Chain A
Amino acid sequence: MFAFLENPKFRGGIHAEEHKAETCDKPIATNLPLPKKLYIPVQQHVGKPAEPIVKVGEHVLKGQLLAYSQGTISAPVHAPSSGVILDVQDFPAPHPSALPIRTIVIETDGQEKWFKYAIPEKPFELDPEEICLRVGGAGVVGLGGAVFPSAVKLNLGRKNQIHTLLINAGECEPYLTCDDLLMQERAVEIVSGIRLMLRGMNAPKAIVGIEDNKPNAFKAMQAASVEFEQISVVQVPTRYPMGWDRQMLRYLTGNEIPADGRATDIGVVIHNVATAYAVYQAVCLSKPLISRVVTVSGGAVSKPQNVEVPIGTLMSEVLAFCGVENEKLARLIMGGPMMGEVLPHADVPVVKASSGILALSHEDIFELEVKPCIRCSSCVTACPVGLLPLEMASRIKANKLDAAVDLGLKDCISCGSCSYVCPSNIPLVHYFKFASGELFSRQQREHKAEQTKRLAENRTHRMERIKAEAEEDARKVMEARAARQAAEAKAQEENA
């Protein structure tokens, strides 16, 4: 009845300052000097960490498997260059905490000698299962930032009979242009990747959604896909967060994914455009995912550009290559400015999730004092999910986390639109992340308490059983003794 108040294609969202012009018309730099050392974390994906199979001192070739995937949701990692395994140690992860995680360190030998994998002659005639296997084996994960193992999604798509593969080329985050450049320069390869994905899932058609602020990428993709009827390339309006996969799906198909479900529930699988390129490399060239295009930008970078970076390169080296001005640097971020993570320092490796390295200046982040909420409801208008950020924040402030959950806290995607528009500069997303963390640890505590209770109960039962058994044994002994005594008495009687 009140549907007219709701845009059926796009709700909320913001127009942020794009800052894409700094990098979007410069070619991808492929001349980054090969680092002396590469630091490859065994966990660069959603799921279980990979298990190292190389030994310290061992010589590895470029593309050689370093650690294999464990369990159903996991991904292997490969050597980004040839060299010697220096160590398998704990090393700071590209995460706000910079907590150390298990990392394989390679001292490169500069030979760049490839490990020989067999290259399929007719990649587009491979069995769907074979395609998925190769994608999984190459360590391909979602490169839009979610880093979910791609093969798992392809398999899920094949099992669920999907009707559409949606290729997310929104790239709605300000500053980032790595997908834009990839499409401009390597559209043919991307289209091959999309065709392989379609085959891997037995899906009939693919839609590529590109924000209309990337006209060159759009043209390149259209030209590359013109002979493939099953692939349509369409432009979508530039409005953050268009690249939220569920939003792009709503815009292009008018359908929503159920809150408790997955895209496959409505016959769709969504992949990032850079993932399609990685799939092409994995299947057609047998090249594992060992490098990625990274946007290096921000007010503190003198030569902002896109760089093809081997996984494991320290961000400080990439920043040095692009000319970082340390005196201007106010905040270092991995990813885009809307959802990216702050990094305490740049001595952390580039990983599969690193779409961008932003060295933002004070002018970029434009920080002001936090003021009280004036209930202007700009955040309500901006929320693409349909939440009430101001109400959720006030509940969380009052430590009423359950009330915040009732208001839809768990549906929040942390896109940051609310914080962006807030005229009082209230860190709304921070409240929501804090509350989610609190809820998680509360759940953990409850789980632990339950475990303890169950263990205690088990112990009581066990003790009772042991006691009962002991009593039973004692009774049996007594009975036996009584019987023996009786028998002896009887025998004595008989003897007497």
Chain B
Amino acid sequence: MNIKPISSPHVSSSRRVDDIMKKVILALLPALGFGIFLFGWSALFLTMVTVLSALFFEAVCLKLKGGAMESYLRDGSAIVTGLLVAMTLPPYAPWWIGVVGSGLAIILGKHVYGGLGQNLFNPAMLARVALLISFPIEMTTWVNVSPFFTGLDILESFKITFSGAEISDAITGATTLGFVKTGFSQAQLLPDLLSDYSGFLAFIGWERGSLGETSTLLILLGGIWLMRQGIIQWFIPVSLLASISFLSTLFNLIDSTHYLSAWVHLNSGALMLVAFFIATDYVTSPNTPLGQLIFGTGCGVLIFVIRSWGGYPEGTGFAVLLMNSVTPLIDHYIRPRIYGRTRDGKPIEGG
């Protein structure tokens, strides 16, 4: 099946799918490492369970599909999916959340569509949204910052991840977005709600949140590195971040008691991870620069709308899935101009 016919060109670049995936993994590692450091052993256990189960489900699906398994397993795409799922989970989530998440991502998110490159929705976001709707308690239990040296020891962490030990209320709290949303529902207003908020700590990532989403700084660094490596292009991240910054600044200027500033938006929730690592997913985003700008802007607008007026404090997962669903439409209508033709495809006028 996969025997390459002899046809020009007879040379090719050395860049391979495996290299792309390796670089994505490398770019994720700082933020992930920081998250594990921040939340201790449980975060490490959860990451391992999630990634290993992602690989397991990938292997099962490939086996069922038949054909060469090894080279596909080694391409790293399942590890990327597993890592992304893990990074969007609450750090103290039980092991089965990781397993179910990976299963949803790999089986429902990817292989039912036909495997790598065929899926309509971003697997990690599909898993995150499905988990959030199905297991709202487990998916919204946010623990305080508790690095290895101050937090739970390895045994306690093991019990939390693997045997359903109760997480003490004393070590949990709300994320910034969740706290503000609850506050609004109790008729509280903004400057007071954020009296304890530190923009700097949020930027560094020293705050409650999902396992690998808290550090704006490290995700940004990873993302910029990916751009410099030519793995992702700027169109989606920049349009996504610009559109949400524009809208939040606009509404913040109109009514600063009800609308968060752009800085809080940019440093909260999954926004950075989504902008650089999720929305830029090749398979589920448009393939032209203009299409990508539309896609990124759409994501940014939807995230702002859901965060500001929706029922959930965070809207990145829903926003990405919604934009994924219109990607084929964008790709159908937005095409590059062909040489010697107008945008409509008609030949240009001669001299």
> Residues of A with Cβ closer than 8 Å to B?
2, 5-6, 11, 14, 16-17, 96, 174, 246, 250, 255-261, 265-267, 331, 333, 337-342, 358, 360, 364-378, 380-381, 383-388, 390-391, 407-408, 411, 414, 416, 419-425, 427, 429-430, 433
Contacts and interface: CB of A to CB of B under 8 A. Distances in A.
Contacts of B19: 423
A258 B350 contact: yes
Q: Give 6 nearest A-B pairs by CB, closest first.
A: A416-B9, A259-B340, A266-B351, A377-B287, A265-B350, A430-B7
B280 to A, nearest CB: 10
A387 B331 CA distance: 12
Contacts of A411: 338-341
12 contacts: A5-B293, A256-B340, A261-B340, A261-B347, A267-B351, A360-B10, A365-B10, A375-B287, A386-B337, A419-B12, A423-B15, A423-B20
Interface string B184-202: 0000000000000000000
Interface stretch (B112-120, B138-146, B159-167): B112-120
A64 to B, nearest CB: 36
Nearest to A411: B338
B213 to A, nearest CB: 24
Contacts, number: 173
A425 B20 CA distance: 13
Contact of A429 (B8, B15, B341, B347): B8
A420 B77 CA distance: 22
Contact of A377 (B4, B15, B282): B282
Interface string B63-84: 0000010011001010000000
Given A258-B349, A430-B7, A421 B288 contact: no
B348 interface: yes
A322 B48 CA distance: 58
A257 B347 CA distance: 9
Nearest to B14: A366
B336 A333 contact: no
B348 A259 contact: yes
Interface of B: 2-17, 19-20, 68, 71-72, 75, 77, 115-118, 233, 282-283, 287-290, 293, 331, 335-341, 345, 347-351
Interface of A is mostly: loop
Given A17-B11, A258-B350, A425-B12, A430 B288 contact: no
B338 A259 contact: yes
Contacts of A174: 11
B9 A371 contact: no
B7 A433 contact: yes
Contacts of A246: 339-340
A331 B118 CA distance: 34
Given A256-B340, A259-B348, A339 B9 contact: yes
- The CB with the most chain A CB atoms within 10 A, among B8, B16, B77, B287, is that of B8
Nearest to B115: A372
Nearest to B338: A386
A5 to B, nearest CB: 5
A380 B8 contact: no
Given A369-B71, A429-B9, A430-B5, A386 B351 contact: no
B338 A387 contact: yes
Contacts of A408: 338, 345
A374 B283 contact: yes
A377 B339 contact: no
Given A265-B350, A333-B10, A376-B282, A388 B335 contact: yes
A457 B250 CA distance: 74
Nearest to A424: B17
- The CB with the most chain B CB atoms within 10 A, among A377, A407, A427, is that of A377
Contacts of B115: 372
Given A2-B290, A367-B4, A422 B10 contact: no
Contact of A340 (B10, B13, B347, B349): B10
- The CB with the most chain A CB atoms within 10 A, among B9, B288, B340, B348, is that of B9
B10 A425 contact: no
A260 to B, nearest CB: 4
Nearest to B1: A370
